[in-house]
Every structure is written in C-alpha cells, then in structure tokens.
Amino acid sequence: MNGSGLQRWAISALAALAVLYCLVVLWYVPTQFSLPLGCLLTNTESEGTPPRGLEIRDVSLLKGLDGKIRGITPEVGDHIIAAAGRPIRSFADWVRLHRDLRSWKIDSAARISFGKDPTEDSALSNLAVFEYPDKSRVVVVWFLRPGSPKPLQACLPLVGQPIFSVSATLLWFVLELCVLIMGAVAYWNRPFDQPLRTFVALSALTLVAFVGGSHWWLIAGNPWLTIIFSVAGTLLPAVLLHFFLVYPYPVSWYADNQPASTRLLYLIPGLAAAGLSVMILATSILSGEHGNGPFAQTIARLTGETAAAIVPRLRSSIYLVFGIGVTYFLLSLLAIRRSLQVARNPFERNQVRSLLWAALAATALITYTMYLAVTDQVEFALGAARLPMFGASLAFMLAYAIGIARYKLLLIDQVVSKGAWYYFASAGLALIFSALIAIGAMHALHQDLSLFGQTAPLILVLMTAVLILIWVRDSLQRNLDRRFFSEKYQLDKALNRMNRVVSSVLEPEAVADSLLTSCQEILQVQHVTLYLRKGVRMDFRMFTARGRGDLPQQITLDAEVFESLTQDLVLQRVAHSATPAQQLLRTLKSEVIYGLEMQGQLGGLLALGAKPNNLHFSAEDLAFVGAMGRISGVALHCATVQQDVTRLNQDLQLKLGKIEDQERKLSVLQNELATLSKLPTPSAVETEFRREGIRGNSPAILSVLETVRKVASSESSVLIRGESGTGKELLARSIHENSPRRNGPLVAVHCAALSPTLLESELFGHVKGAFTDARQDKPGRFQLANGGTLFLDEIGDISLDVQVKLLRVLQERVFEPVGSTQTVPADVRIVTATHRNLEQLIASGRFREDLFYRLNVISITLPPLRDRQEDLYELAVHFLRRSSAKSSKSVLHINDEAMKCLHNYHWQGNIRELENVIERAVVLAEGTSIRVEDLPVEIREAPPWPQASGESPRPAVESLVSRTGQLAVRRKSLNKQDDERRALVAALDECGGNKAEAARLLGIPRSTFFSKLKKHGLG
C-alpha cells in the first residue's frame, strides 16, 4: 500500500474513532447519576495549609431538593471528607467515587421506605448508600464546616444530568457529524488533497474536544475517556493552524520543508498532550482501591496523598495548555488572512472570507471564555464556558456549511452529488415537521389545554395547525424539486434537438455542431471542443470547436489517460494534482473531458471549458454530457459510415492508381540498379545512415530513425525512453555510428546492475588507495569513452548522490576520480536510456529535476512491439535466420498459422521476448518450418486483436479507410471558407504533400485544387 493509501486509512480510522468516542460519551453522560455538589480540581487554601478534604464550590443543584435531603444541608466552603463510606482526599477520589456509584450493589438492608431518614436510624449507621422503592438512591456524605469542631453528616440524593445540556451537546454532535461525513467521503475519493485531509482531521478532533469538554467533570472518573479528550483538545489548535497553512494553497516555507515543518508545528502540543495524559493516568492509578486491612489502608492513604499532590500540577498544566491553544488560535487568524491574500478566484476568496468572519466571531467568544477562566474559575470549570464555546464551534460549523453549500468548499460537491443533497434536504424537512407535530402532541398530552372544558375545540385547533404545517411542507418540497431537478427539462430540450438533427441530416459536421451548441447553451460553458480519433492509435485531431481558437489541433493521449477514458469515459479537473489526466485538462483549458464511444471503442473526446464564475460540474451536468455523448457517438459513427460507403469506390480507384505509380517507380529503380551494377563499386560513403541492426520499416520505427538521423550529428544529450526489450541499446549504437564521434569508442554502462558506490567508481574511476582493495589507479568509463559516446542504460535507477556528480559532469564537462583531487576533462557525448517514468520519480523525490532537464535535451521514445505490427514479420524472419545458424538447423520459414499467433500476441517483453520465442521454436522445430505447436502456450492461446480482421495483421489499412472517409465528407463543405482551408490542409497531410493525390482525394480537378491553395496562401 502506498503512502496516500495509508494516510487515507489513518484519517478514516481517526474519524471513525472520533464518532465512536462521542457515542460512548453521549451514552456515558446521561446514565451517570451524581451528587448535587460542585467541586474543582483544587481547594482555595493557601500553600502550606494541610488538606482537609475536597472543598464544595457550588450547591445550585441542591435547590428544589429540600424535601429529599436528610441531615444538615452542605454549603459553599464546606469540605467533603467522606462519601459513601470512602475517604475523599482530592478531586481524584471524588470522580472515582462517582464512577463506582454507577455499578454500586445495594444490600437488602439498604433498601428503605419513603420518608425514612437513614441518619437518624442507628441500625443503618454502618451503611452509606440507600435505595428507595422507586429505585432512587441517596448517599451519606460527611463534611467539615469552617468553625465547626466535628464533622457534619448529610444524606443527599443522586441526581441525573440536566436535559438542556445533554440535548445541546447531542444537537451539536449531529450537526458536526454531517460536516465530518461529507469531508470524509470527499477525502476518500481524493486522498491526494492535503487541505481536505487536514479538514477531516480537524472535524474529528473538534467532535472529541467539544463533546468531552462539555461534560469533563462527569467523564473524569474514566481515565481513558479523559485522556482521549485531553489529547484532542490539546492538538485541536495545532490542527486548525495546520489547516489554514495549507488551505487553499500551502505556505511557501511550509511546502519547501513539509516533514520538518509539520514536526515543529505539532511538537509543543504533542509534548503537552503527553504530559497531561501521564498525569491523568498516574492520578487515576494512585487514587485506586488497594484492598482491606491496615497495610492496604496505609498504602491507600499514601497513594491518595500523592494523587492529591499531583492534582495542583495537573491544574497548572491545564492552564498552560489553554495558553498554548490561545497562541495557536491567534496564529490561525494570521494564517486565515494569508489564505485570503493567496486565493486565486472569487470562489476561493468567498470560502476564506466566510471562515475569517467565523474566526472573528469565535475570537470574541473565546476571549469571554478566557476572561471567565481568570476571574471566575468556579463558573468556568462547572459549565459556564460551555455556551460561549458552543457558539464559537457553531460559528465555524456555519462557515463550513456555507462554504460547502454555496462556495463549493474543498470541492465536496464533486463527490456528494446533487441527488444526495436532495435526499438530505428532503429528509431533514420531513424530520423537522414530524418533530413539530410530535412536540405539539406531547405538550397537549401533558398540559390541560381544553377550551371551556371541552376537547372538541382543541381537536379542531390541532387539526388546523397540522393542515397548515402540511401545506407549508408541501410548498417547501415543491421548491426543492424545482431547485434540484431543473436539469431534466433542459435535457429533454437538448435530446429533442439531437433527435431532429439525426433524423434529417447524415453529416458529421451537423451532428457535431448540434452537440456543441447543446452543451454550450445548457451548461453555459465558455468553450467546447470535439476531437475525433485518428485510426487505431491514441492520436486525436480537432474536428470542430466553439468559443476558443487557441487550442491544439492534435493531441496524443498518454496510455494511462487512454485507459481511464476507455473505462470511465470522463475526466474531471482537480486542483493540486499533476497526473497525466490533469495535465491534459490544463492543456485543453478544460474542466471536463468526456469520451465518445464508437463501435465499442474510444472514438472521440468532448472537452468542456469552465462554467460561469468557475462553478463546478455537478453529477447531473455529467449525466447530461453522458447522455448527449452516447447519442452523438452513435450519430457520428452512422454519418461517417454512410459517407465512407459513398466514397469507397473512389478510394479503391485511388489505391489502384497508387499501385500503378509504384510499379512504374519499381521499373525505373530496377533499370537504374542494372545500370549501376555495371559500374565500379565506390567506397563506402561516410554520410550513409547506419541502422546498426535495427529492423523494420513501419511508420513508428521510421519516425524514430528519422529523428536519429537529425540529431546524430549534434553533441546534445539524448534520452531514449521505452519499455524493456524495445532495443534502446541498439538505438544508442545507431546514434553513435551516425555521429562525428563514430571513430571513437562507445562505452555502455548498465546503471541498475551496480551499487551506488561501485557505480561511482565505474563512472569516474579511482586512484590507488581511494578505498579498500584499490591497489592501483583505474580509469572510469568517462575516461574510457573519451572522444566517443557514453551510453548510460537504466538512468532512472541511479542514486541521488551519483545524480549530483553526474550533473556536474554534464554542466562543467570535468570530474574527479574517486579519492583524487585532480580534475579530468570529459570529452564525451551522453546518451541515456530508461524504461521508467522519470516525471513520477521527480514528483516522489527520487530523481533530480535539474538532471532530468540536462539529460532530456533530445528525447526519443521507442515504440513497443505491439505498436509495430508491420515489422513483426521482418523481425521474426531475422531472428529465425540467426537462430537457425546458431543451432545449425535448416528452419527456413514460419507457417501462416504460427505467424497469425505471433500477430495476436500482445508482446509485453517486446523484441527481446520475440527473439527468445523464435529461438525456442527453432530448437523445438522438427522440420523446415516453425509450426503452432512449436510456440509457447500463452502465444498459441492469445486472443486476436480487436481491430484485426480475418487473417490480416495490418490495422493500418482500416485506419487509412477511416481517415480517408473523414476527409471525404468535407467535399460538400468546400464553399465555406473555414471548412475549405481545413479540408485542404488535411488532404495535404494525408497525402504527404502530394498535391495531385490530394486533389483526387477531395474529388476536384487539379487546377481547381491549385487555385484554392493559392487563394488560402497554401501554395
């Protein structure tokens, strides 16, 4: 699994754990009954005063419990010294007691009747927790009051948590969970998006910090819940700052050294979180039970005192964390301001502006919270800060919601389709109105709402209210339907237009014009362009365009892009991505590329520009383009086939004319050869091009050899690219033999076969004593290739250290042998080869970009054998002769069935694999020819190529007919200026500049053709 995959699973796990934690807390808090007394971590005594239990700071929950309290009512300032029969020495003992009360077992003697006071019954003096018949419980509490010489006793009921606080937390959790889910779904589909990854982590930590912080004094009894909350709350400000450092675009200093910057960003919060966790865990362990007996009680007393001593330090650490959080939040404000300055378009600026307003609102609320923390610590700790922090979190949540819904924050709308938004909105609307009706019914059930003692008027009022609510809901639902499904009416309009065009016209130009018009009018895109495929290769030529005239006339797809379009039919632009697909989108200045299927193959590309205000394409937009594309693909294919059929006879006549011309040329060449054979044989001409064993005459290899002929005489570096087994070393030898350095040496080095240290010594040589076993001077390959050519095979596998030294040689043409300080000049020409994707290696930091540009002065790509089907027979015969001579056998030819199998095979190993297959077949052959039985099983069972027809292995014939047909359809449009010039240029390109053939191809007289060339300045 790669790095992005691991990060995706890690962030997903963090989000899932955050949701699980919140669910546990939301279950834990409502089920936690507590004593109605408020206490803090530490007391108000000055330092040096011996501890007297835990000070009571708040008794507001005792109001309304007067009839349930037995004994003396506690007051603020009293110190709890025991509760439920357990000593209370610190806050750690207090929260541990509440945790144990959850599972406290009640003896039969402790079950008492209503109205009985346990404090007045001496028989119950040894019990500390009692239960009434209604399952409510009371706890005996002992406390000291200032000025009172002896402890006082009270019997206090256990109370549940306020409904308002739990409901507010639950409401906030549901809202924030929606934000987290949308962010997580978007990140799962775009794991490379760093701002989105940080946003998901921020949402997850926000969930944990708010839900845990809203009820910290209740979850404090569980150390693990407390530790998770403290870690999330400590890291949250750092993650918030991290988000604004990378959104919408990373800060330059952060992007230049991202790993170190990230470690520095999280160093202080990470240490603080670790310190808090250790102190919380230590306090929990030290305040635990140690059994019964004098020794255990002594241990419990000592550990309890130690825990009580840790609590003040824990409190100081919490205030330190507050200070760190405030500092990081202020830095986040500065980062938001920077994000607003670097935003590149109105949408990004609106996104950041909404977040800035939320941050300013949160600043005011956080300032009030810190004021409480300094001036009124009791109110701050016991829940007064919950409301302002709720407001601060809600401000950011609203900013995220506005950004997602209105300004396409983080492109979440690309993943969450409009259909999903519709169902969310519809379900939310139904839930709201259901809740209103349910609340009204419950209120009427528990209140006396009869009118004049009669229930009939009340029923009529409720019926009217329900009818009004239903009417309002239906009105809102209609508006939702109109808002979300307006595209279906536009689609119907566009389909009717395409139906009229297909029914009345069978010209590709008319079909394409209708397609582009519909897309531009319905989607409101700035420009739209249609490219059609040229033959069976991955080349596409512009057919027609609307809106722009500066787009490339022809494009060649990368194999990865071609495969993606073949499978998914759509490519959509994504920010911060440098994949081949995204580079193609930028080249075409488009937001979406849709592939048109013709006869089950990718036959065309529809490139759509940006929408108004840079709006993103929704799922419904893509569905519209898909429907139009499928209809247009069928219509274009039918129109092309129709016109190809009408031109077939003329094409055949043209081919017969070509054959006659070729026969005449062959006759002339034979006569000249016969004449030359009578003359003395001249010496070899120095300028004759040498192929050096490179076989084949297909257009692909001839184009490569033509490039070699042009660049061989220069001194520029050449980078040969291609799959393994395509003959890169042979091509390097051809470059050398056709260069002015042909009389010098050609030295080859296979870089992947040597370790970095050994490769450096091999390239630059070493002097005696440079390293162990360096017993004498040894010249390197640069010295051995002096005056000639140095061929570095598999250049993509060399280490970064060797890359640096190789770059210096290329720049300065000098080097130093290993262990030497003497500079040696390098008079060599560098030719390199690789089968790897150097651009991807550069992106991953494994290949230097500056070295790449030094090596890639001239780039030559060798085509794989599967793209040289025309050369397969010649190569097979060549290897057959060589293998026959090698094995001393008389295998003279390959039968037709075996040759057909060779043509059907995909040849992943290219020419090297073909050579091995032929050698194996020669060894196994028992006659004078290679049969199917002599070939390997995988070749015998290989399915035929999709474009093959019958026994013909030459798909070029079909592509020629297809291209000729596409040119022929332009004959009807020669009266139009733009189409006329385009048709003339296309005909000349197709016929290789032969004007007579171009005129015949267009079906017009040569004189007319020449006059039109002169008219358009093409003479």
Contacts 24+ apart (CB under 8 A), 114-120: 117/70, 117/71, 117/155, 118/70, 118/155, 119/70, 119/71, 119/153, 119/154, 119/155, 120/70
CATH architecture of 508-645: 2-Layer Sandwich (3.30)
Position 185 scores a pLDDT of 80
173 backbone dihedrals φ, ψ, rounded to 5°: -60, -45
Decide: residue 174, CB within 10 A, 0-12 exposed, 13-18 middle, 19+ buried. exposed
**Cβ-Cβ contacts under 8 Å for 519 (sequence gap 6 or more):** 525, 528, 606, 608, 625, 628
Stated as kind and residue range, the H or E segment containing 540 is strand 539-546
Q: Report residue 968's pLDDT band, with 50, 70 and 90 as the boundaries.
A: very low
Paired residues of 531 in beta bridges: 542, 605
Stated as kind and residue range, the H or E segment containing 572 is strand 570-572
Torsion angle of alpha carbons 1002, 1006, 1009, 1013, nearest 10°?
A: 130
CATH code, 699-863? 3.40.50.300
Q: Which of 403-417, 677-691, 872-886 has the highest mean pLDDT?
A: 872-886
Residue 239 has pLDDT above 50, yes or no: yes
Task: For domain 868-941, say whether CATH 3.40.50.1100 is its number.
Answer: no
Residue 679 has pLDDT above 80, yes or no: no
Residue 45 has pLDDT above 80, yes or no: no
Q: Provide the token pair at 439.
A: 């609340």
pLDDT in tens, 317-373: 888 988 898 899 889 888 888 887 777 666 677 777 877 888 788 788 878 877 777
Q: Provide the token pair at 481.
A: 């339907």
**Cβ-Cβ contacts under 8 Å for 99 (sequence gap 6 or more):** 221, 222
CATH class of 976-1016: mainly alpha
Q: Report residue 383's pLDDT band, with 50, 70 and 90 as the boundaries.
A: low
Q: Which of 19-23, 25-29, 567-571 has the highest mean pLDDT?
A: 19-23
- Closest by Cα among 357, 359, 351 to 407: 351
458 or 221, which is more confident? 221
- Closest by Cα among 85, 86, 87, 95 to 28: 95
Query: How do strand 54-55 and strand 79-83 relate by DSSP bridges?
Result: antiparallel
- Closest by Cα among 361, 364, 356 to 334: 356
Q: Provide the token pair at 27.
A: 């279950």
Position 718 scores a pLDDT of 93
Count of Cβ atoms closer than 10 Å to residue 502 Cβ: 19
Task: For domain 33-160, say whether CATH 1.10.3470 is its number.
Answer: no
Count of Cβ atoms closer than 10 Å to residue 581 Cβ: 19
Stated as kind and residue range, the H or E segment containing 596 is strand 592-598
Query: How do strand 789-793 and strand 893-894 relate by DSSP bridges?
Result: unpaired
**First CA to last CA across the chain, in angstroms?**
59
Paired residues of 824 in beta bridges: 815
Position 947 scores a pLDDT of 43
Paired residues of 902 in beta bridges: none
Q: Provide the token pair at 988.
A: 């000349």
Gap between the Cα atoms of 985 and 980, Å rounded: 9
The answer to whether residues 64 and 157 touch, using CB atoms and an 8 Å cutoff, is no
Q: Provide the token pair at 940.
A: 């015998």
Farthest CA pair distance, the chain? 141
Count of Cβ atoms closer than 10 Å to residue 545 Cβ: 18
- Closest by Cα among 833, 817, 821, 739 to 784: 817
Gap between the Cα atoms of 329 and 244, Å rounded: 11
Q: Which of 41-55, 549-563, 827-841 has the highest mean pLDDT?
A: 827-841
Count of Cβ atoms closer than 10 Å to residue 737 Cβ: 17
Q: Which of 611-625, 805-819, 963-977 has the highest mean pLDDT?
A: 805-819
- Closest by Cα among 911, 854, 881 to 728: 911
| Percent of the chain with pLDDT strictly greater than 70 | 77
Paired residues of 746 in beta bridges: 789
Q: Tell the CATH topology of 8-14+164-290+319-438.
A: Rhopdopsin 7-helix transmembrane proteins (1.20.1070)
Task: Look at the alpha carbons of 942, 947, 949, 952 in this order and tell me if their dihedral is positive or negative.
Answer: negative
pLDDT in tens, 693-752: 788 888 888 889 999 988 988 888 999 999 988 888 889 999 998 888 888 999 999 888
Task: Give me the helix-helix angle, 487-504 and 619-676, nearest 10°.
Answer: 40
Query: How do strand 746-750 and strand 858-861 relate by DSSP bridges?
Result: unpaired
Beta-strand runs (E) in 759-867:
789-793, 814-815, 824-825, 829-834, 858-861
Gap between the Cα atoms of 725 and 696, Å rounded: 15
The three-class DSSP label of residue 531 is: strand
141 backbone dihedrals φ, ψ, rounded to 5°: -125, 130
| Unique residue bearing structure tokens 């699980």 | 20
Mean pLDDT of the chain: 78
DSSP state of 959: H
- Tell me the residue type at 242: H
Position 480 scores a pLDDT of 60
Task: Give the mean model confidence (pLDDT) for residues 977-992.
Answer: 77
Q: Report residue 974's pLDDT band, with 50, 70 and 90 as the boundaries.
A: very low
The answer to whether residues 143 and 94 touch, using CB atoms and an 8 Å cutoff, is no
Gap between the Cα atoms of 154 and 141, Å rounded: 5
600 backbone dihedrals φ, ψ, rounded to 5°: 75, 5
The answer to whether residues 179 and 400 touch, using CB atoms and an 8 Å cutoff, is yes
Position 686 scores a pLDDT of 45
Q: Whole-model pTM above 0.85?
A: no
Task: Give the mean model confidence (pLDDT) for residues 224-241.
Answer: 91
| Unique residue bearing structure tokens 């409904």 | 163
599 or 879, which is more confident? 879
Position 652 scores a pLDDT of 76
The three-class DSSP label of residue 10 is: helix
CA angle 161, 165, 169 (to 5 degrees): 120
Residue 559 has pLDDT above 90, yes or no: no
Beta-strand runs (E) in 171-312:
none
311 or 104, which is more confident? 104
